[in-house]
Structures are given as C-alpha cells and as structure tokens.
Structure 1
Amino acid sequence: MAELDKEYILSLTEQAEAGSPEEQYRAGLLFAFGEGVPVDLVLAHKWLNLAAMNGVAEARESRAEISMDMSPQEIAAAQKMAREWCLAH
C-alpha cells in the first residue's frame, strides 16, 4: 500500500480531534496499523475508545484486538488520554 498523503493524515486527525466519531475510528486504525504514521497503540486505543464511546461499534472490536498487544500501563495511558480529551471537549 502506498504511503498515505500527509494532507489526508492531517485532515483526518483534525476531524478526529474535532469530535467526528467516524474520523476517530479511522485515526485509531491509522495508528494501529502505522499507515503513513509510526505505529502507536496508545494513540490508536485512545481514538478507538472515543469512537466506541460515540457509537462506532467496529471501534469496540478493534480496541479489544489491539489491547491484547498492549501492557496494562499502555492501556491506562490511553484511557487517561481519552478522558482528558473528553474533559477538553
């Protein structure tokens, strides 16, 4: 797969940050698979968690899958990031 366009990645993360559940889900997958960005399971979990809280059913499954490859400390860090995002928005 070709490297993703940096403008697309920036737009996607901006929309996720703005609260779009679908873009939060896509951002989670982006960081989970490292498509155009370094793999970052903590960020992936954060975005998938937010998408799941906002009604994206697939995000729950994806979050559960990546959680199997994360330490309890990484999961706690991702959950903290998601809580902080909720408080700020």
Structure 2
Amino acid sequence: MPKTLTEIRSLARSHTRSAINVLVGVMRSKDATAAARVSAANAILDRGWGRAAQPVQNGDDGALELIHRIERVIVHPENVHPENSNSENL
C-alpha cells in the first residue's frame, strides 16, 4: 500500500540525525575527495542556515528594472512621485 506524502516526509525526517552524522563524517574524512567534503559541508550549511541568496541579473530587456518600478508603485506608493506614476513610466 503506497504511503502518503506526509508519511514519507515523516519517515525521512526521522532519519535526520543519522543523515547529518553521515554528512559530517564525509566532511571530516581524510579519505573522501575534496569534492565530496565540500558537497557535504555545503549540504550541512544549507540545512542549518538556508541556501545563500542567488543574485538576479538584469537582462538586456530591463525586466529587473521593471520589477523594481512595479514594486515601488504597488508596495511603496508613498515613495512614488506624481510625475512618475503614469503607466508610461512603468
């Protein structure tokens, strides 16, 4: 009988301590390759501190600037000057 997603997550989470111990063992192992040690260290950091934010690059189409303008109008309307609030400036 198939397990529900909740049951699978619960089962996986019950092995968290063992999994972290394995990652720490790989990270500390002098016999492990450098790539394996770095991978284990990154996995530990990701789980403990969250993944590092990924920078978003502005493409040639100016999409990121458009998003910033929309945010200023919708999220922070008090910071929008009346001459910049028409749709042509979005």
The structure whose Rg is larger is 2
TM-score (norm 2): 0.30
Which structure has greater helix proportion?
1
